[in-house]
A = this chain, B = another copy of it.
Amino acid sequence: MTRAHRLAAAVEFIHTATLLHDDVVDDSDERRGKDSANIIFGNEASVLVGDFLFSRAFQLMVADGNLDVLRILSDASAIIAEGEVLQLSAQNNLTTTMDDYAAVIEGKTASLFAAACEVGPVIAEQDEKIISAMRDYGMNLGMAFQIIDDVLDYNANRAKLGKAVGDDFREGKMTAPVILAIQKANKEEKDFWQRTLGDKNQKDGDLETAQTLIAKYDTLVQGMELARGYGDKAIQNLAHIPDSHLKKTLVDLVSFTISREY
Q: Do A52 and B88 touch across chains, with their CB atoms under 8 A apart?
A: no
On whether the beta carbons of A74 and B45 are closer than 8 Å, the reply is no
CB distance from A218 to the nearest CB of B (A): 32
Query: What is the chain B residue whose CB lies nearest that of A65?
Result: B67
Q: Does A47 contact B (CB under 8 A)?
A: yes
Closest residue on chain B to residue A86 by CB atoms: B48
Given contacts A59-B78, A74-B59, contact A24 B52 (CB under 8 A): no
A46 to chain B, nearest CB (A): 9
Bitwise interface map of A from 159 to 170 toward B, beta carbon under 8 Å scored 1, else 0: 000000000000
Residues in B neighbouring A65, C-beta threshold 8 A: 67
Within 8 A of B (CB), among A125-175: none
- Residues A50-79 near B (CB distance < 8 A): 50-52, 54-56, 58-59, 61-62, 65, 67, 70-71, 74-75, 77-78
The answer to whether A25 and B43 touch across the interface, beta carbons within 8 angstroms, is yes
Q: Is the CB of B78 within 8 A of A56?
A: yes
Residue from the list B47, B62, B67 in contact with A74, Cβ < 8 A: B62
Q: Is the CB of A48 within 8 A of B85?
A: yes
Determine the chain B residues whose CB is within 8 A of the CB of A123 once the complex forms.
Answer: none
Q: Chain A interface: which size bin?
A: 35 or more
For residue A88, which residues in chain B have a CB less than 8 angstroms away from its CB?
44-45, 48
In the complex, the answer to whether A48 meets B21 with C-beta atoms within 8 Å is yes
Are the CB atoms of A55 and B43 closer together than 8 Å?
Answer: no
A194 to B18, CA, bound (A): 37
A118 touches B (CB below 8 Å): no
User: Which residues of A, 6-61, contact B by the 8 Å Cβ criterion?
Assistant: 17-18, 21, 24-25, 43-45, 47-52, 54-56, 58-59, 61
Shortest distance between the CB of A108 and any CB in chain B (Å): 10
> Known contacts A52-B81, A54-B81; can you find 4 more A-B pairs with CB under 8 A?
A45-B85, A56-B78, A58-B77, A65-B67
A-B contact pairs, 30 of them (CB 8 A): A17-B51, A18-B51, A24-B24, A24-B43, A24-B47, A25-B43, A25-B48, A43-B43, A44-B88, A45-B88, A48-B85, A48-B88, A49-B85, A50-B51, A51-B54, A51-B77, A51-B84, A52-B81, A54-B54, A55-B74, A55-B78, A55-B81, A58-B58, A58-B77, A58-B78, A59-B71, A62-B67, A62-B70, A67-B67, A70-B70
Residues of A within 8 A of B (CB): 17-18, 21, 24-25, 43-45, 47-52, 54-56, 58-59, 61-62, 65, 67, 70-71, 74-75, 77-78, 80-82, 84-85, 88
